[in-house]
Amino acid sequence: MYSVIPYQAAYAPSVSQLFHDAIHAIDESQYSAADKSAWSAKPRSAYHWHKRMSQTKAWLVVDSSVISAGKHICCGFTNIETGYYGQGYIDSLYVHPAHQGEGLAKSLYETMEVWARAQGYTDLTVDASRLSKSLFLSYGFKVNHKSYQEKLGQIIMGYLMSKPLTDLKRQRCHTQGLT
């Protein structure tokens, strides 16, 4: 039984390992071994991930049976920027390779979108990988353009995508005084 919970510091080591494992499980037809090594040469410190997750709004998917055993292992995680400049930017959405295809990314995404709407965010954006592009398309995101990130000398291609969270028809009626 899986649960989506707010991020907790005790999970930082698990988040770090999950990120590294997820990157290195990507098929080489999507990203080369050199790309994956540049993206995550080794697991980053728990401190790095705790800082990154704490400075955003973040959630974890955990196995409820493992929680009761006192273990802090996450099966997936996501986080979204909350600062004014980056507000609504999805920083990450990863699911451990052993749990992919089980609907965990969907649970994380839906939790994040519900929260973002409740905060009044007008849109969401993400730099999606080749692998996650179809996932975000399925949630109504549109590709704005290809994006490129340099990591340890490797250029890693992805897609800048966005999704409006406001009902444009309702918004037009409201601004025209037709509500």
Domain boundaries, the chain: 2-175
Check if the beta carbon of residue 72 is closer than 8 Å to that of residue 10.
Answer: yes
Distance of alpha carbon 136 from its chain centroid, rounded? 10
pLDDT interval class at 176 (50, 70, 90): very low
- Please tell me the pTM assigned to this model: 0.87
Class of domain 2-175: alpha beta
Please give the pLDDT value at position 78.
98
Cα–Cα distance for residue pair 165/105, rounded to 1 Å: 19
| Rounded-to-integer distance, Cα 169 and Cα 173, Å | 6
Give dist(CA 140, CA 143) in Å, integer: 10
- How far apart, in whole angstroms, are the C-alpha atoms of residue 166 and residue 62? 30
Residue 67: band (very low, low, confident or very high) from pLDDT cuts 50, 70, 90: low
Phi, psi of 176 (to 5 degrees): -95, 5
Q: Of 84-88, 147-151, 175-179, give the lowest mean pLDDT range.
A: 175-179
* Rounded (10°) CA dihedral 81, 84, 86, 89: 50
Mean confidence (pLDDT) of the chain: 89
CA dihedral 6→7→11→17, nearest 10 degrees, is 110
Q: Torsions phi, psi of 128, nearest 5?
A: -85, 145
